[in-house]
Amino acid sequence: MSEAPTIDYDGLIPNNVGLNQDARLRKALETWHPGYIDWWNGAGPAVFQNSPVYLRTAVGVDPEGWAKFGFVRMPEYRWGILLAPAVEGRRIGFGVHQGEAAWQEVPGEYRSSLRRLLVIQGDTEPASVEQQRQLGATAPSLYDLRNLFQVNVEEGRHLWAMVYLLQKYFGRDGREEADDLLRRRSGDADQPRMLGAFNEATPDWLSFFLFTFFTDRDGKMQLAALAQSGFDPLSRTCRFMLTEEAHHMFVGDSGIQRVVQRTCAAMRAAGIEDPEDVARVRALGVIDLPTLQRKMNLHFALTLDLFGSEISTNAANAYSAGLKGRYREDKIEDDHLLRDATYPVLRWRDGVAMREDAPALSALNMRLRDDYVAECEGGIARWNRVIAAAGYGTRLLLPHVGFNRKIGEFAAANLAPDGTVLTAAEWAARRDEFLPSAEDGAYVASLMRPARAAGEYAGWIAPPRVGIDGKPGDYEYVRIEA
Ligand SMILES: [Fe+2]
Ligand SMILES: [Fe+2]
């Protein structure tokens, strides 16, 4: 690795991309900036915008010391443009340009596909901030409130990351796309965000933790695939975004773990032997495991749809062109061309789910999704260890990948979470067994009362084992009254 350019932290936009030497780009970004702040103020966190929050800000790209912590009011957060260090002599690792020097400019023939990839990725970043906009009002602790806001400001920075690429490399088209990224709104009837899961509501903190566990992890997979790109500025951008993304998934993973821990402890203390005894569990003011399971079913299925169709020519073209690789492409040992290779794809054939070999090139979405599911399994195993340690036999399970899908092979199937094939009528009749019901939603909503004293936690979630940045349990992460 070569030296990363030092970060210019003095101007309006902190960056390590030499903005000072690029007057045209600086002007474009400075023109975009007020619209971004308007968006943040109008569509970002609905409360506590003026409260100092203990946030990390990226001040470098050295993996060992890239962030500094301090109190900042969110609208004054230093959103910056940061690329991971260039890799000296980096070459394209896959596709028909394999072995050529990585591109520092956009190849003309791939201009529109690349722009499309950036816009789709970019659109998800502000969308999640919009989806999480109301959650600050009901945070279960100042620790969680701070984590929410950390995720939000970093998703904002991820939008900056994509906008930088659009404005630097795509001229007027890029500027228009950057403006449109501020125009669309999650769930809006006329100008929705581009992908389904990013137009869904995130009504409560249980949804937030599941979103960061499942949906931010899709983000990680996509970024990891784009980090392999032959277009070097995209690769470097994504590599740095992945550093931040790890915390988002930690928030979800540990959040659910704390929910499970609290529920199990409360059931034990009350002498409840059967976690399915929902009425008794709910009387304790904690989240029953069947409700958690239904919420998991919902978020998993919504997120799987983000991977697109199992068989996809777009994915094949992006790969062959060297624009988007496989997960950990550089660790895979094969020809990185996939001309003759096959990959087993789960298909829905005459009412039966079956694996069928398909050309590996067209099956890249399927492969990325498989990598994703394997990672999800790891998190769920950790949650199940908490349940087992409390002496309960219940286990949380990922639903079948064909359950409740809207996109791809299983869009027309009616599968139960365990994979049982149902008729449409059977499925509809049993819907509330599979997915959160209105009543589940109302129960979870009833628990969403804020805990705002330093060190205080809502009764449905256990405190974290360790604080952020080594802070003690009663640290005042958000100075609400200020
Ligand atoms: Fe992101
Ligand atoms: Fe994220």
Q: Which ligand is nearest to the Cα of residue 123, counting in written order?
A: 1
Residues 406, 315: Cα–Cα separation, whole Å: 19
pLDDT for the residue 122: 98
Q: From the CA of 241, how far away is ligand 2's center (Å)? A: 9
Against a cut of 0.85, is the pTM above it?
Answer: yes
Q: From the CA of 246, how far away is ligand 2's center (Å)? A: 8
Query: pLDDT at residue 197 above 80?
Result: yes
Q: From the CA of 113, how far away is ligand 2's center (Å)? A: 23
Tell me the one-letter amino acid at 78: R
Q: From the CA of 118, how far away is ligand 1's center (Å)? A: 12
Q: From the CA of 183, how far away is ligand 1's center (Å)? A: 18
Query: pLDDT at residue 7 above 90?
Result: no
Residues 294, 156: Cα–Cα separation, whole Å: 30
Q: From the CA of 215, how far away is ligand 1's center (Å)? A: 10
Residues 155, 125: Cα–Cα separation, whole Å: 5
Q: Are 397 and 417 a contacting pair, CB within 8 Å?
A: yes
Q: From the CA of 154, how far away is ligand 1's center (Å)? A: 7
Query: pLDDT at residue 473 above 90?
Result: no
pLDDT for the residue 2: 46
**Predicted confidence (pLDDT) per residue in 11-21, tens digit:** 889 999 999 99
Q: From the CA of 155, how far away is ligand 2's center (Å)? A: 6
Q: From the CA of 123, how far away is ligand 1's center (Å)? A: 10
Range with lowest mean pLDDT among 54-63, 382-391, 423-432: 54-63
Q: From the CA of 52, how far away is ligand 1's center (Å)? A: 23
Query: Confidence band (pLDDT; 50, 70, 90) for 162?
Result: very high
Find the mean pLDDT for residues 439-467.
97
Query: Confidence band (pLDDT; 50, 70, 90) for 5?
Result: low
Q: Are 337 and 354 a contacting pair, CB within 8 Å?
A: no
Q: From the CA of 244, how far away is ligand 1's center (Å)? A: 8
Token output for 179: 């403006």
Residue 248, number of CB atoms within 10 A of its CB? 24
Tokens 């007020």: give the residue: 34
Q: From the CA of 157, how far away is ligand 1's center (Å)? A: 8
**Predicted confidence (pLDDT) per residue in 40-69, tens digit:** 999 999 999 999 999 999 877 777 777 889
Q: From the CA of 451, how far away is ligand 2's center (Å)? A: 24
Range with lowest mean pLDDT among 33-47, 60-74, 275-289: 60-74
For residues 101 and 13, which has the higher predicted lDDT (pLDDT)?
101
**Predicted confidence (pLDDT) per residue in 298-348, tens digit:** 999 999 999 999 999 999 999 999 999 999 999 999 999 999 999 999 999
| pLDDT averaged over every residue in the chain | 96
**Predicted confidence (pLDDT) per residue in 372-385, tens digit:** 999 999 999 999 99
Q: Are 66 and 60 a contacting pair, CB within 8 Å?
A: yes
pLDDT for the residue 399: 98
- For 101, which DSSP code? B
Token output for 213: 């566990």
Q: From the CA of 107, how far away is ligand 2's center (Å)? A: 29
Q: From the CA of 217, how far away is ligand 1's center (Å)? A: 10
Find the mean pLDDT for residues 112-127.
98
Q: From the CA of 313, how far away is ligand 1's center (Å)? A: 26
Percent of the chain past pLDDT 70, that is, above it, reads 99
Q: Which ligand is nearest to the Cα of residue 161, counting in written order?
A: 1
Query: pLDDT at residue 4 above 60?
Result: no
pLDDT for the residue 1: 43
Range with lowest mean pLDDT among 14-28, 90-104, 216-230: 14-28
Q: From the CA of 138, how far away is ligand 1's center (Å)? A: 23
Q: From the CA of 225, how far away is ligand 1's center (Å)? A: 14
Q: From the CA of 227, how far away is ligand 1's center (Å)? A: 13
Q: From the CA of 159, how far away is ligand 1's center (Å)? A: 8
**Residue closest to 143 by CA, chosen among 481, 476, 479:** 476
Q: Which ligand is nearest to the Cα of residue 240, counting in written order?
A: 1
Percent of the chain past pLDDT 90, that is, above it, reads 94
Q: From the CA of 357, how far away is ligand 1's center (Å)? A: 33
Query: pLDDT at residue 8 above 90?
Result: no
Find the mean pLDDT for residues 261-278.
98
Q: From the CA of 136, how far away is ligand 2's center (Å)? A: 17
Q: From the CA of 131, how far away is ligand 1's center (Å)? A: 13
Q: From the CA of 49, how far away is ligand 1's center (Å)? A: 20
